[in-house]
A and B are shown apart, each in its own frame.
Chain A
Amino acid sequence: MPQTMSELTGPVFGRDAVGPLDHDLTQQHDAEPLGERIIVTGRVLDEDGRPIRHTLVELWQANAAGRYAHAIDRHDAPLDPNFSGCGRALTDEEGRYRFVTIKPGAYPWTNHQNAWRPAHIHFSLFGDAFLTRLVTQMYFPGDPLLPFDPVLNGIPDDAARERLVSTFDWDTTMPEHALGYRFDMVLRGRNATPWEK
Chain B
Amino acid sequence: MIGTGSQTVGPFFHVGLCTLFNDKLVDARFAGPLITIRGRVLDGDGAGVADAMVEIWQADPTGEYATSERHDGFSGFGRVPTGADGSFQFTTTRPGRVAGPDGKLQAPHIVVAIFMRGLLRHLNSRIYFPDGAGNSEDLVLSLVEPGRRDTLTAREVAPGAFEWDVRLQGESETVFFDF
Contact = CB atoms under 8 A, between A and B. Distances in A.
A and B held together in a complex: yes
B16 A196 contact: no
Interface in B94-145: 98-101, 106, 109, 111, 113, 115, 120, 122, 126, 139-140, 143-144
Contact of A160 (B2, B57, B59, B111): B2
B15 A186 contact: no
Contacts of B120: 154-155
Interface residues of B, number: 53
A84 B14 CA distance: 11
Interface stretch (B5-13, B28-36, B41-49): B5-13
Interface string B159-179: 000000000000000011111
B interface, over-half SS: loop
Contact of B139 (A4, A122, A186): A4
A69 interface: yes
Interface residues of A, number: 63
Contacts of B100: 2, 4-5
Contacts of A194: 178-179
Interface in A3-43: 3-7, 9-14
Question: Could you tell me the dominant secondary structure of chain A's interface residues?
Answer: loop
B3 A86 contact: no
B140 A136 contact: no
Contacts of A186: 1-4
B153 interface: no
A95 interface: no
A73 B75 CA distance: 33
Interface of B: 1-20, 51, 55, 57-59, 65-68, 75-77, 98-101, 106, 109, 111, 113, 115, 120, 122, 126, 139-140, 143-144, 175-179
